[in-house]
Amino acid sequence: MSHYDDIRNRICRQMIPLPILFCEDYSIDHEGLAKFVAWQMENGSKNFCLTFTYSQLDFVTPQEIVELATKLMEVICDDAVFIACTGGGSVQMAIDTVRGFERAGAQAAFVHMPEHCLQNANQCGEIYVRYISEVARQTTIPLLAVALGVPGTVAQPALTPQLYEELCNIEQFIGIKDDIYVLDNRLALTRKFGGRMGITGGGMFSQYIHFHHWPDQGEFSGMHNPKRGLRMYELLDDNDYLAVLKMMEEDSLNAPVYPPGCHWMARNNVVYYGMGFAESYQMRPPLVSATPQQAQAIIDDMHTKPLAFERVTRS
């Protein structure tokens, strides 16, 4: 088994997307995020990643992303898999960033679709494959793509089966993050490329249950209660789908509250503050932070939902 096969096989089941937390002075809260990752690992999580949207990468510099990856790898080492993520800039910027991830010891990296791809709707998939190919030519770390829709469409994949064939000819390419969220699309890709290309979904467990017994399939889950998330995978191992559906229904009833006017990213940072990891719930401008009233409403709500939040330390 090659190194690339080994990393692809390890990226499965529960995947923890990492937020970027900020201090009051807008600097990155490295200590808070390191504490969150350590807590997740203590509770059984084995896969972590940065993503362009959830991790707010368009509000940090490539140098900050590399520094963050370096700090996180001091905690993760080789006890789990960490997938870093580029910020979608020029191909040279992506190459330099991925080389930084290599120096940091990250096990893999998402190569996010750059802005110039999104501005060419008719050829965005082809441009993206050339972009990834050039990054792969000048780096050695396992690489994953982010499967996005064609700009201006609801769910037309930018990457066609033929383009996936091209990616699979790149030894470093090991999988994708599915941002299409169309069940039939993921099913077609799994049937055609299963065993060669891993797929991680962005948090739709209702779709993941169809793929649990296929190789190299993962899903965002367990961010606020890792043991509960892991329990769902154990139940799927036993084919106890009814118990999983019951847990999914409970989770939908225990989702964090959205105060009116509060952006979901701002709410997320309040949640990690309420869990006791973040120093503050400050957002980096131009994102707007939650107001003290909104933050208090979120934290009060967290205390009423122990199924969703295994840990709440602030009142």
**Contact between residue 255 and residue 308 where contact means Cβ atoms under 8 Å apart:** yes
| Position 293 in a domain | no
CATH number for the domain spanning 165: value is 3.20.20.70
SS3 per-residue string spanning 124-138: HHHHHHHHHHHHHHC
| Position 229 in a domain | no
Phi, psi torsion values for 103, nearest 5 degrees: -65, -35
Mean pLDDT by 10 residues, the chain (315 residues): 94 97 96 98 98 93 97 97 95 97 98 88 93 98 94 83 97 95 94 96 94 96 96 98 96 91 95 97 95 97 94 95
| Position 270 in a domain | no
Q: What is the pLDDT of residue 68?
A: 97
Phi, psi torsion values for 239, nearest 5 degrees: 60, 30
| Position 206 in a domain | yes
Q: What is the pLDDT of residue 154?
A: 63
| Position 125 in a domain | yes
Furthest-apart CA pair in the chain: how many Å?
54
Domain enclosing residue 27, as ranges? 3-223
Write the DSSP symbol of residue 22: B
DSSP string, 68-131: HHHHHHHHHTTSSEEEEE--S--HHHHHHHHHHHHHHT-SEEEEPPPHHHHT-TTTHHHHHHHH
Q: What 3-state class would DSSP assign to 258? A: coil
| Position 109 in a domain | yes
| Position 201 in a domain | yes
Q: What 3-state class would DSSP assign to 49? A: strand
* Of the candidates 153, 151, 145, the residue with the CA atom closest to the CA atom of residue 121: 151
CA distance 124 to 122: 6
| Position 192 in a domain | yes
- The burial of 11, by beta-carbon neighbours within 10 Å (0-12 exposed, 13-18 middle, 19 or more buried), is given as buried
Count of the separate structural domains present in the chain:
1
Q: What is the pLDDT of residue 48?
A: 98
Distances (CA, A) of 146 to 60, 207, 273: 19, 17, 29
